[in-house]
A and B are shown apart, each in its own frame.
Chain A
Amino acid sequence: DSGVTQTPKHLITATGQRVTLRCSPRSGDLSVYWYQQSLDQGLQFLIQYYNGEERAKGNILERFSAQQFPDLHSELNLSSLELGDSALYFCASQGVNTEAFFGQGTRLTVV
């Protein structure tokens, strides 16, 4: 158990809909990363938050947004969903001078 919790584990939704993925980092970790992994592809960096502030942004679509709350949990919002958004979405948290720990991921299927 990495200590990072992601919910839900699985999500099936229709095109055009909006979903929210949730991540609770390890206790004390201030950094949260979001990654997208399509089938048989590498991890694509989406966005990073540090102590509530956006720290870095990757190739995140405008239809996607995220935030980190005062209690340090983070949410990734995906809207106007398309079939190509079907993927595993991972959250990772990191403390100072430690490795990043990954949650088990949310498998999103858009039908």
Chain B
Amino acid sequence: GQNIDQPTEMTATEGAIVQINCTYQTSGFNGLFWYQQHAGEAPTFLSYNVLDGLEEKGRFSSFLSRSKGYSYLLLKELQMKDSASYLCAVKAAGNKLTFGGGTRVLVKP
């Protein structure tokens, strides 16, 4: 089976940096995704890591360590519109895609 853990909630100030951690246990690891979801809306893709290291995409970066079963999403220069849930998802053998419970990020002025 799969087990994906991420914090439930985080609060940060506009302009600051926030790091959302995700740990996972899975068999047949085939990649890790980060999605953003605003309340009542569909999740939208942010990043994908399949090899160890850091992937940078504008204000968002994602890191993966396969040996540690660990990833993080780094949000820089936070804006009010970044208030949302951030979902870590692991793709296992057979392309099964399982999501963690999500981390709700609240950005305060």
Contact = CB atoms under 8 A, between A and B. Distances in A.
Interface of A: 2, 31, 33, 35, 41-43, 45, 48, 50, 55-56, 58, 88, 90, 92, 94, 99-105
A2 B98 contact: no
B33 A100 contact: yes
Contacts of A42: 87, 99-102
B7 to A, nearest CB: 12
Contacts of B33: 99-100
Q: How large is the interface on B (under 10, 10 to 19, 20 to 34, 35 or more residues)?
A: 10 to 19
Contacts of B44: 2, 102
Interface in B10-44: 33, 40-44
Interface of B: 33, 40-45, 48, 87, 89, 94-102
Contacts of A50: 94-95
Contact of A88 (B40, B45, B98, B100): B40
Nearest to B47: A99
A33 B102 contact: no
